[in-house]
Structure 1
C-alpha cells in the first residue's frame, strides 16, 4: 500500500469509526460504501491485524482498532496543523490562547507584555488565569503554562525562561536599627521573614561554608511567614526584617535604595527556574506558536530576570 492509498484508507477508517457505519462514513467522505470497505480491508491487510468487527447492522472496534484510532487522530491533526502552518505564512494567526501563570509572575512580568502581543497579532485573543497551584495543562485546556521549578511531564515541552537567583535583603531603616549581619550565624539575632510554599514547606536558607559544603539556617524563629514572595518583598521594604526573595522581585527596590543585599558571597542562590510549557504535539497551532516565540523573546530581554552577579555587588549593605 503506497502513501496516498494509506492516507485514503486511514481517512475511511476514522470516518467509519466515528460515524458508526461504512455508509455514514462514506457519505462524510463523498465516496461509496464499497470504497470505504475496500480501503479499510486494505489497511487491515497492510497492518496484519483486524481493526474492526462489522456486521450488516453495526461495527465494533477491536482493541488494536481502538489503539490505532487514537494514533490516527493524532496523525490527522498533524496534517491539519501542517496546512494551518502553511496558511499562516500568508495570513495572520487568529484564535484564543489560554495561559496559566502564577499570580506574582503573571502580574509583574507577563501582563505588561500582553498589550504589544495583541497589537502585533490583532487576530489573537488571550485568556490568562493567575493561579499559584500546579494545574494539569492538558486536562484543564491550557495552551501555555508559566511555572516555577521543573515539572516532570513527558507530554509537555519545557522552555527555560530564566534561572531565579535568591538573595537576602533588608531595608536601610531596619539595618540601621538592628545592625548588618556579616556572617550567616548572626542572622539568628535578627527578625527573619520566610516563605511557605503552597504544599506547606518552608523555603530553606542555604549558605556555602568555607569548605564549599552547603549548610542550612534554622528559620523556625521567623517573625513572619508568607506564601507570596511579592508581599514578602514589600514587608522587607517596609522594614519588618530580613527576607529571602528572588532578584526579580527585589531589583527595582535595590535600584532605588529601598533594599540592600546581605551576605551575597556566602548565601546560596538556589537552583530555581521559570519555565514556559506547552503540550507535546507533532505541530503547534500558529496562534500558540507566535505567542510562545513572542513571550520567550520578550522575557529574554527583561533585565530583572537575568541580572548577573557583577551587577549585584554595588547594592550590598
Structure 2
C-alpha cells in the first residue's frame, strides 16, 4: 500500500467581506489569485459585522467604511456608489421620483443592517450629505433579496452600484435621482499595520487593489 504524502505547507489567508460585496466582487477574483499564488490557501468569510482585526483571526477585511485606529491600514479600492433604481414595470405604473422629497410618495424597500437598524438612504443635495429614513412596505436583511424585490416591481431601493450595474446595462432596472447620488464613500481593504507585512498578505493586497481599480462599475 503506497504511503500517503503529507500535504505541502501553505500560507493561510483568512478574508472577511460583507455578503453582497464578497459574492459579487471578491469571490470572482479569487480564482485568478489562486492560479497566480497556488501556495496560499484562502478562506473567505461573509458577514455584515465588521472585523476586529486586532483580536479576530482575520488577515484582511473588505469594508464600506474607513476603519479607524493607528494600527489599521485602510486602502481605498473604489468609490462606494449608491443608486436608486426601479424596474421598468414599476416606472410605468408609478413613475419615478425627480427629487429626494418625492420619495415619500413611492414604495420604498429598506435594508436592515447587522446592528438591526434600518440603513439610511444617502443623498447629496446642494453639496451637503442628507440621510433619510424611509417608510417601507418591504424590508430585508439581504441585498440579493432587495434586488429581486425591485426586479419584481415591488418598489424602489437604493443599492450599491456593484449589485445593479449589470442589470442597469441590460435595462432590467432603471436609475433615478442620479443627480443626488453621494460620491464621497468608498470600499476599503483593511489589514493590520505590521513591519514587515507578511508576504502572503502583501501579494493579496496588491493583487486585489490592481484588479478592483480596473473594474468598470
How many residue pairs match? The answer is: 209
Pick from 222, 236, 241 the counterpart of residue 136 of structure 2: 222
Contact conserved, 1:167 with 1:269, CA < 8 A, in 2? no
For 1:196 and 1:208, the matched residues in 2 are separated by 22
1:303 corresponds to 2:216: yes
Alignment correspondent of 2:192 = 279
Pick from 119, 130, 133 the counterpart of residue 49 of structure 2: 133
Which structure would you say has the larger Rg?
Answer: 1
Alignment correspondent of 1:250 = 164
For 2:90 and 2:21, the matched residues in 1 are separated by 27
Alignment correspondent of 1:184 = 100
Superposition misfits of 4+ residues, deviation over 6 angstroms = none
1:233 corresponds to 2:147: yes
Change (3 A) 1:208 1:114: closer
* TM-score in terms of structure 1 length: 0.61
What's the CA shift for 1:130?
1.2
1:269 corresponds to 2:182: yes
What's the CA shift for 1:186?
2.5
Question: What SS does structure 2 have at the residue aligned with 1:197?
Answer: coil
For structure 1, the 5+ residue unaligned runs are 1-92, 305-317
* TM-score in terms of structure 2 length: 0.87
Task: Decide which structure has greater strand share.
Answer: 2
What's the CA shift for 1:173?
0.5
Task: Decide which structure has greater helix share.
Answer: 1
For 2:124 and 2:64, the matched residues in 1 are separated by 23
Alignment correspondent of 1:116 = 32
Contact conserved, 2:21 with 2:162, CA < 8 A, in 1? no
For 2:194 and 2:42, the matched residues in 1 are separated by 21
What's the CA shift for 1:117?
0.9
Q: CA RMSD in A?
A: 2.0
Matches of residues 189-200 of structure 1 in structure 2 within 5 Å?
A: 189-200=105-116
Alignment correspondent of 1:50 = none
Change (3 A) 1:207 1:130: closer
